[in-house]
A and B are shown apart, each in its own frame.
Chain A
């Protein structure tokens, strides 16, 4: 199990099973998450550093590594960082997420 002082992401040398070589094509929403980081960290904006993204992922804890997919961890960390910086607030996120869910329910094929 986890050792104090060693993050779950810090996995070099730990025992693990065989490499599963199956691959999936990235979904559009996953690429958009990636694009958000690229744009927020570019020279023009400099609102978020990759180091901050990674710190945020590392702080999600062990369960996140087991239960979340790669880009789920990314968007959780991007959003957490934007909250910390005051670029977004929980209130506006909550309202917008409800709006997005409402739209998707009204038009399940309409995408997001």
Chain B
């Protein structure tokens, strides 16, 4: 079922294909930690074009450190952004498991 578990470090694909995408540009290519598995949902990239979105894709909430996304971030170290990302946009990131 789900390829990743809470605590896994993952990297978001760095890609800019056309289509209806739910992966915001600002997290593409960035690494974060799986905060939770949200379940499996039909793929919106397919639903957007009138298809059924099957097979359903596992959806994760990924926690990104603000200073990972924005090197010039001026808030507190430890501030973060959490974004829902579908599994096919994620790849394992070596460095392994850390606490979410």
User: Using Cβ atoms and an 8 Å threshold, which residues of chain B touch A84?
Assistant: 50
Which of A6-14, A63-71, A91-99, A104-112 contacts its partner? A6-14
Number of A-B residue pairs having CB atoms within 8 Å of each other in the complex: 37
Contact between B50 and A52 (Cβ–Cβ < 8 Å)?
yes
Q: How far is the CB of B69 from chain A (nearest CB, A)?
A: 7
Please tell me if A73 contacts chain B, counting CB pairs below 8 Å.
no
User: Using Cβ atoms and an 8 Å threshold, which residues of chain B touch A6?
Assistant: 16, 25
What's the tally of chain B residues with a CB closer than 8 Å to chain A?
Answer: 17
Q: What string of 1s and 0s marks CB contacts (under 8 Å) between A1-19 and chain B? A: 0001110001011000000
User: Using Cβ atoms and an 8 Å threshold, which residues of chain B touch A4?
Assistant: 16
Contact between A52 and B25 (Cβ–Cβ < 8 Å)?
no
Q: How far is the CB of A17 from chain B (nearest CB, A)?
A: 18
Which of B1-9, B41-49, B90-98 contacts its partner? B41-49
Chain B residues at the A interface, C-beta cutoff of 8 Å: 16-21, 24-26, 44, 47-50, 53, 69-70
